[in-house]
């Protein structure tokens, strides 16, 4: 295989970002001819075509997409090296690619995000709100937010908060039944939760160190917490959902907490995860710090109980 300059990989990554040779030339402050020669040199060295070019369009070939993953990693390492030894170490600027779960993104990250953007005017952000599990290493994201217990991995992890669950029902539903003064009474009611066809269906509550397990009667087995909340608002039954999702509905009277002096033992851990090679980037550290402080403060989550954890 012919040799090529590793800096050629950065040029190819920029062309792939913009899908334009002329756009990459402008972004890199070099000539269009120089960019074209670089791509040709890479293709000759690799003995394959990386781009399909026409007079108007540039498309990445399948081989080019595979090669791009490694080019992006080279670019990340260059950025990290510059951050470690240069002026960038103290400067929060550049692009951050972040992926967060759908409901959490809409309800928590979205409202808080302007504060970070206004505080750091030199930061650009690509935010993907999705319930698809994204691998930040394979897909080139700087950071992902995940909810629930995470398996061991090579990613660095910081806990953002712990979201407790609670039982809620509409005032209309409660008006049709005897007052619920103790969790044991929930056993007589229709409930809405995610059971995953479990044989044992119960809710566990605690108060003053004492736990009780309440067998429940499922009316609706549903894997989407927002819909569970909305079905409860409509008066179908009692739903067990994360408390932060119900704050507004409780404030305006659409939902009423059930036995608020008892606490559900169910808790979701909300974590930020990112590749260790990104850890030296000031913009990433600033965003992680921002989430750690703002998310619990603004949205009523329990405070984080751990700092960065290298799994």
152 CB-near residues (< 8 Å, 6+ apart): 311
Show the DSSP H helices in the chain as ranges.
Answer: 7-18, 21-28, 32-46, 62-85, 102-104, 110-119, 136-139, 171-175, 225-233, 247-251, 282-299
Question: What is the pLDDT at residue 147?
Answer: 87
Residue 88's pLDDT is what? 47
pTM (two decimals): 0.63
Report how far residue 310's alpha carbon sits from residue 158's, in angstroms, rounded to the nearest whole number: 9
Three-class DSSP category at 140? coil
pLDDT digits (tens, 9 = 90+) for 208-241: 989 999 999 899 999 888 999 999 999 999 999 9
Among residues 103, 61, 137, the alpha carbon closest in space to that of 223 is found at 103
Report pLDDT for 310. 47
Residue 39 has a pLDDT of 93
What pLDDT does residue 80 have? 75
User: Tell me: the pLDDT tens digits for 151-177?
Assistant: 667 788 898 888 889 999 999 999 999
Structure tokens at 88: 């960038």
Bridge partners, 240 (sequence order): 167
Nearest to 212 by CA among 177, 266, 262: 262
pLDDT value of position 100: 93
Q: Which residues, given as ranges, of the chain have pLDDT below 70?
A: 1-2, 55, 83-90, 151-152, 279-280, 298-311
Residue-level pLDDT at 53: 84
DSSP 8-state symbol, 152:
P
């Amino acid at each position: 295989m012919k040799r090529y300059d590793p800096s050629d990989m950065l040029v190819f990554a920029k062309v792939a970002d913009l899908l334009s040779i002329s756009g990459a030339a402008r972004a890199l402050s070099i000539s269009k001819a120089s960019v074209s020669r670089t791509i040709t040199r890479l293709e000759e060295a690799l003995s394959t075509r990386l781009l399909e070019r026409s007079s108007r369009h540039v498309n990445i070939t399948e081989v080019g997409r595979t090669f791009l993953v490694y080019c992006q990693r080279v670019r990340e390492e260059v950025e990290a090296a510059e951050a470690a030894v240069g002026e960038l170490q103290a400067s929060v600027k550049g692009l951050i690619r972040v992926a967060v779960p759908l409901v959490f993104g809409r309800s928590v990250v979205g409202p808080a995000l302007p504060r970070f953007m206004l505080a750091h005017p030199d930061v650009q952000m690509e935010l993907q709100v999705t319930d698809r599990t994204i691998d930040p290493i394979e897909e080139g994201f700087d950071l992902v937010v995940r909810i629930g217990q995470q398996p061991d991995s090579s990613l660095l992890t910081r806990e953002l908060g712990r979201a407790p669950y609670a039982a809620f029902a509409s005032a209309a539903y409660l008006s049709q039944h005897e007052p619920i003064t103790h969790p044991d009474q929930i056993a007589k009611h229709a409930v809405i939760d995610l059971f995953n066809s479990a044989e044992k269906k119960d809710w566990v509550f605690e108060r003053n160190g004492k736990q009780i397990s309440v067998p429940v009667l499922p009316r609706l087995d549903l894997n989407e917490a927002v819909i569970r909340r909305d079905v409860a608002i409509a008066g179908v039954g009692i739903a067990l959902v994360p408390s932060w999702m119900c704050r507004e509905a409780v404030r305006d009277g659409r939902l009423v907490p059930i036995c608020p002096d008892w606490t559900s033992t169910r808790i979701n851990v909300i974590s930020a995860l990112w590749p260790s090679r990104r850890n030296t980037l000031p913009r990433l550290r600033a965003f992680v710090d921002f989430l750690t402080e703002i998310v619990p403060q603004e949205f009523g989550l329990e405070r984080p109980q751990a700092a960065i954890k290298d799994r």
